[in-house]
Each structure stands twice: as C-alpha cells, then as structure tokens.
A and B are shown apart, each in its own frame.
Chain A
Amino acid sequence: MSRDDTHADAVPIVRLDRVNKHFGQLHVLKDIVIEIQPGEVVVVIGASGSGKSTLIRCINGLEEFQAGHIEVDGNELLPDGKSGRALQRIRTEVGMVFQQFNLFPHLSVLDNVTLAPMKVRGWSRADATETAYRLLERVGIADQADKYPSQLSGGQQQRVALARALAMEPRLMLFDEPTSALDPEMIGEVLDAMRELAREGMTMVIVTHEMGFAREVADRVVFIDRGEIVEQAAPDTLFDSPQHERTQSFLSRVLKH
C-alpha cells in the first residue's frame, strides 16, 4: 500500500507545472508535471542522460528552465532565472547531496557543517557547533569533526555532506546519485543514513540506481526517459508490473544483474 493516500489532500511542498528545459538544441525536460507532498520519499530512476539530474537541479535553481513553473514551499521559480529572492529562500529550505560529495576541502569537517547555518541563518558559532556535533553523531562521524575532507573515506565524506545539508534544517532534501561515486563496501553506510532520514519523515527526492533501496524506502518511484516522465507509481507496482514498454525495457536492463 502506498503512503501516497495519506498525503492526498495535503498541500504539496514541491510542484512542477509543465516545466521545459533546453540545453541549446537539446530538449532535456519535456512538460514535466509532478507534485510532491510533505514527508514523501520520491525516487527518480531512468537511464543515464535521461534528465534526472537536470530535473532535481531545477528544483533548487541550479539549472534554469525555459518554460513552465516551479513552486517550492510557497516560493515560485520563474523561467530563465528570473526568480529573484525566491531562489535564495528556496535554497535555504532545500538541501542537496551530490554524487561527488562536493565538500569544501579547505574547511574542516566541523566548519563544513557550521558554515551555512552561521552565514545564512545567522546562528552563533556555539549553536551551529552544537547542531553540527549532533548531526555528525547521527551519521556516525562525530569523532572526525576536526579532520579535513581529504582525510576521510568516500562513505564518510558523503555522510558529512548529508550532515552539512541537514544542518540548515531543510524542509526538503535532494539526492543526486549519492552512492554512485562510492566503493561498493561504503554504499551501505550512506543508504543507512538516508533510510533513517526517511523514517524520520523528511521529504526526499532521490535519484539513484539502487533499485533495492528504492523499493524499500520510496513512497513513489518516477521513471523518466528522454526528458519525459513516462510512468510513476508505488515501488511495488512500478517494479513488478510496469505499464509502459519503455519502463519495462529499462527495468529489464537494470534488474538483470
């Protein structure tokens, strides 16, 4: 049973309405319509180059789009980067975890986590530090707080990146293939941290190729192909009885091994 029903009449926290995005001649997102409810975990799947990254990067304005509109927690993003202050507000409320971690190499783990709360939210160093330790504790790396990112393993770095994003107390978290750059033995520790976050009720949009994880934590799986949302459903429905031929062929390719 999908958790969707429980959210059915809530106000969506994210709403994309006929969003279109071009890179030059390339039509990367085609009339994307999607609504995400607070507390929902949405996993986006699709072949490489299908537009998954572009889609979630539009939600926090890292990519501009050319037509349609995006609303995040009551703030509206307009086409062609004309969003003004709404963009800043959205980024303050939306956290993101990247495939390549993108930790700040010149700052210690602790400073990576405290920087934004202090500079953006205006917290005192003491408050930011306390929150940082609590979050680092939660992802199991409080003992590494004084190290620099380059001294950590990939899995540890990605957990720091998660703590850094959570320190801003986001209302929504975006994940762009958070485990794709990790050695296999480190994937589990990152997925565990994400699983816990989902359990606590965080709204999450996750691009991943970890189908087992998707089936387990997603409320809804969205399949995107060549810039179009082809099909979306609860994980069991989508994985076990995909309706569209394109979904079937994609799943048969990725689930084979």
Chain B
Amino acid sequence: MDVTFQFDWEAAFASIPFLLKGIPYTLLISFGGLAIGFLIGILFGLLRISPLVWLRVPAIAYIEIFRGTPVLVQVLFIFYGLPQLLGGPINALVAGIAAIAVNSGAYISEIVRGGVQSIERGQREASLSLGLSRVQSFRYIIWPQAFRRMIPPLGNQGIISIKDTSLFSVIGVGELVRQGQVYIATTFNALEVYLMVALLYLAITLSLSFALRLLERKGLVGQ
C-alpha cells in the first residue's frame, strides 16, 4: 500500500477560481444578514431594557428563541418550512440572509443591551440636567459611548455569523462550502479543496478582525 500521499498543490490552486465564485454569496449572506441583524439588535436590545413590561417580554422571548435554537434549524425552517405556510417557495439566498439576520439579531440585542447598560448612570443624569431630552441624551451621549464598547463583541458576532453561513450549503446556495462540494464531486480532491475553502474563510475573518482593530484604535482617541 502506498502511504505517501502527495498534497496536490496544482489541484489546490486550480480549484480557487471556482471557489471564488462562492465568495460573493458568502459575503452577501453574512454582511446582508448582519446589517439587518444589527438593526434588529438595536431595536430589540433597547426594547429589552425598556421599563415597560409589555415591550420587554416580547424582546426577551425573541432573544431566547433565536439564541436557543441552532442556526441550521432556523435556515431549514425558513427555506423548507415557511413556504408551506406562505404557499410559495423562498429564494435560498433570501432564506440565508434571513436566517443570519434573525440569529445574529438575537445575539446583537444582548450586545446592545450590555453596551447601553455599561454606560455610567451619571452620563444620563448629566445630560438630562443640561436640559437634553431623553432622546437627545441617548443619541448624543449614551449611544456613541455604548457603540464604542460594542465594537469588540460585534466583531466576534460578525466572525461567528460568517462561519455560520457555511451551514447554508444544505439549502443549495452557491456559497463557499457549496462551491467546494460541487468542485470535489468531479475532481475528488477533498483535502486540497477543503483546505482552500478553510483558507478563504480565514482570509475573510482576518480582514474583518483587522478592520475592527483599526476602528477600535480610532475609537480609543478621546476616551
């Protein structure tokens, strides 16, 4: 038996152009989903800390449900389950974006809540004592400070969501993993191709980490 397996660099590089076609989908699903998730997170994060119970309870329910169930199940539910309710198919790309949105939105709600609650009470009191309305106090004083503190956990969530999109090969979106699987089906270079797929994910997540570090450093000025 020949045990010396040769890593086929040529095959690895040859797969790249095909794999790259998956990147726009991976980026679109992650960043599209995260953008919507961020809006959801702001809304539900603030509802979560509302003094009004009937605003707080739905927010808690949403957060617990979407944090407590796997994102894979969520996307399967949206892609295969919801059409039975709606009576028409859902585009796989839309289903992927929606799954990332509701899933990251739940986590981001908690990030928003933590960020806002971490701002010292005195900041709000000082701004109110100057005559600012509650909305102005939030907009000019609380939120800018809270947002700075949210950058690291938001970056974390971004990286998690980018990796979560790899699960969406199951609904047939042509993202990175799906492209890899399709390619391997004809060439059988699983080792080389999955390594390339992994490296491409790493390239995306490292770029994000790097960008966030720059943003954080900029945000530190004046703290």
A98 touches B222 (CB 8 A): no
Q: Tell me how far the C-beta of A198 lies from the nearest C-beta in chain B, rounded to whole angstroms.
A: 20
Query: Is B145 located at the chain interface by the 8 A CB criterion?
Result: yes
Pairwise interchain contact A106-B222, C-beta atoms closer than 8 A:
yes
With both beta carbons as reference points, the residue of chain B lying nearest to A174 in the complex is identified as: B129
Distance between B146 CB and nearest chain A CB, rounded to angstroms: 10
* B interface residue count range (under 10 / 10 to 19 / 20 to 34 / 35 or more): 20 to 34
- The interface residues of chain B lying within 8 Å CB-to-CB of A94 are 129
A98 to B123, CA, bound (A): 11
A60 to B223, CA, bound (A): 29
Residues of A in contact (CB 8 Å), total: 30
Q: How far is the CA of A103 from the CA of B141 in the complex (A)?
A: 10
Which of these binds chain A: B21-29, B63-71, B97-105, B130-138? B130-138
Across-interface contacts of B136 in A (CB, < 8 A): 119-120
Contact B148 A120 (CB under 8 A): no
A120 pairs with B140, CB closer than 8 A:
no
A241 within 8 A of B: no
Give Cα A205 to B61, complex, Å: 47
Number of A-B contacts (CB under 8 A): 71
Chain A nearest CB: distance from B140 CB in Å? 6
A91 at the interface (CB under 8 A from B): yes
Would B130 and A164 count as touching, CB distance under 8 A?
Answer: yes
Q: A100-B122, A119-B140 given as contacts; is B131 within 8 A of A105 (CB)?
A: no
| Complex contact B130–A105 (CB within 8 A) | no
17 extra A-B contacts, CB within 8 A, seeds A62-B125, A104-B127, A115-B140: A61-B128, A91-B130, A91-B131, A94-B129, A98-B126, A100-B122, A102-B125, A102-B126, A104-B126, A104-B145, A106-B145, A108-B222, A120-B130, A148-B221, A148-B223, A165-B130, A168-B131
B-to-A contact residues, CB < 8 Å: 120, 122-123, 125-133, 136, 140-141, 144-145, 148, 221-223
Where the two chains meet, the residues of A that have a C-beta atom closer than 8 Å to any C-beta of B are: 60-62, 88, 91-92, 94-96, 98, 100, 102-108, 115-116, 119-121, 148, 150, 161, 164-165, 168, 174
Query: What are some 18 contacts across the A-B interface (CB < 8 A)?
Result: A62-B129, A88-B131, A91-B128, A95-B130, A98-B125, A100-B122, A102-B120, A104-B127, A106-B144, A106-B222, A106-B223, A107-B222, A115-B130, A115-B140, A120-B136, A148-B221, A168-B131, A174-B129
